[in-house]
Amino acid sequence: MLKVGYIGLGLMGKSIARNILKAGFPLVVHNRSQAAVDELVQEGAQRADSPAQVAGQVDIVFTNLPDSPDVELVALGENGIFTGAHPGLIFVDNSTIRPATTRQIATRLAEKGVLALDAPVSGGDIGARNATLTIMVGGPAAALEVVRPVFNVMGKTVTHVGESGAGQIAKAANQIMVAAQMVAMAELLVFAQKAGADPQKVVQAIKSGAAQCWTLDVKPERLFAGNRQPGFKASMQAKDLNIIMETAREYGIPLPSAAVDMQLYTAMLQSGDGNLDNSAILGVLEQMANIKLDENQ
């Protein structure tokens, strides 16, 4: 049985780690905040005091961290994975970070005989809890086949996109669509209400037609119930859009719609709502239109 390490037990990481543990894989965990570690240790995981300590005793080490500098620090910094790495270790990053950073980390870890997979996920906290995540993988196919039994207890769809960085490119593409859907949903809800129709009935009318999408299937019910808690934090959506725009500038790619979405999420963060769900971008549109969505109609 493969021994697995998991570093980064946030909103999604803790649920992913728990599913790995429930599937019977011996699990070593590390996190900056100890409450999540304590919780998983009570369920049968083993505690580690540093990323190096995790890496030194497992076959596969996962990370799930907020941004590129965090992954770089945990992977390559003092007492990081590089320090504890051994030949044959596989490093898997579930974070969403810059493709360029992913490639740099993979190249450095290769010096220790470590294979690296970038494997960002989509599906939010619900997908993490229910093990229905979509997993986009970049890196060596041979490493993917070793890790696949673990991926299979995390998600329902695992796609090998290509070489190192390709998983992150796919996730960035995913986030372009997610942001566009969140903003479009906010616009249609505001449009419906201000133009004089019941937004709930409008959603019912359109969500089975050409407008059907995951966002309309999942988010309106929460918004109509007055629930704007994450989910997937708006601050993380903004971070992902920043990665998208940085990568677009690097390659000279025009992304006019994503640029507008970035500005809307920036406005949301500046208003102090970054810890709300990414669907709560609705609040920015409400303010612009000078209305408030009717809840619990």
Active-site positions read 171
Say if residues 4 and 62 touch (Cβ distance below 8 Å). yes
Rounded-to-integer distance, Cα 87 and Cα 259, Å:
42
Three-class DSSP labels, 27-78: EEEECCCHHHHHHHHHCCCEECCCHHHHHCCCCEEEECCCCHHHHHHHHHCC
Label residue 242 exposed, middle or buried (CB < 10 Å: 0-12, 13-18, 19+): middle
Structure tokens at 55: 């890496």
Residue by residue, DSSP assigns 223-236 as: HHTT----SSBHHH
Alpha-carbon distance of 199 to 197, in angstroms, equals 6
Q: What is the DSSP letter of 276?
A: S
Find how far residue 50's CA is from the centre of its chain.
Answer: 23
HEC profile of 157-182: EEEEEECCCHHHHHHHHHHHHHHHHH
Task: Specify whether the CB–CB gap between 244 and 172 falls below 8 A.
Answer: yes
Instruction: Please choose, from the candidates 162, 112, 111, the residue with its C-alpha nearest in 3D space to the C-alpha of residue 136.
Output: 162
